[in-house]
Amino acid sequence: MTGASGFTGLWLTAYLLESGANVTTILAHWHPNTHYVGSGLLHKVHNVIGNFSDYDLIDRVIKENGISTVFHLAWLSIEKLAFNAPRIAFEVNVGGTYNWLEACRNSPDPIEKAIVASSDKAYGDSPHLPYTEDMPSIGRHPYDCSKSCEDLISQAYAHSYGLPVAIGHFGNIYGGGDPHSSSLIPGSIRRFYKREAPIIRLPKLGHFQRDYLYVKDLIQSYMALYNGWVQP
């Protein structure tokens, strides 16, 4: 698993542990004041400290730990950060993805499922809403483009090598433990505690409507992907 110390990753880690799974994760870094550490999750999984650009490390972790399922949740998730640091965004979101998939492809034991956390941003700024799975991946900005690339690479490994890949397109996730104060819901809650009005950002032209996904519902979606559920 990647991204175990992140917002959605820690919820998925907790769920997997409660379900009796043995969890191994690669952490590029971790901070002592995060919920991942404070909750004790850090001590309940097998942590490997390393960089997602290190293919040999990823390959060794999969082979030495008998990994059967990979949840790839590690990515640079803030669009503004990706815009200001596109090289890092591509190295993490794109390079990290193909390194994991290649290691899965070369695993001596067949991988049961490789689940990739993508985003609705992979579809770019499509004028046609809502998004549907048959839309092309046409991201133009650095973050969007990195998710489009992640989608296409994942599909290539599925179609060319038969790797059992499942891709989740999720967006606007909220719930406990979200450290991103710039996001609408955690930012508004922090401002409410200070008795301040929330900050609502409106587009210059038109109006935006957004769907929000509760993090526990997201975890159930990941498990549905794991169990092979397909929407009729």
Q: What positions carry a catalytic annotation?
A: 143
**What SS3 state is found at 46?**
strand
What is the rounded CA–CA span in Å between residue 56 and residue 91? 16
Q: For helices 96-105 and 55-64, what crossing angle results, to 10°?
A: 40
How would you write 167-191 as a 3-class SS string?
Answer: EEEECCEECCCCCCCCCHHHHHHHH
CA–centroid distance for 155 within its chain: 16
Spatial CB neighbours of 112, under 8 Å, sequence gap ≥ 6: 68, 69, 164
Token digits of residue 12: 């998925």
Helix H or strand E segment including 72: strand 69-72
Burial state string for 179-200 with b = 16 or more CB within 10 A and e = fewer than 16: eeeebbebebeeeeeeeeeeee
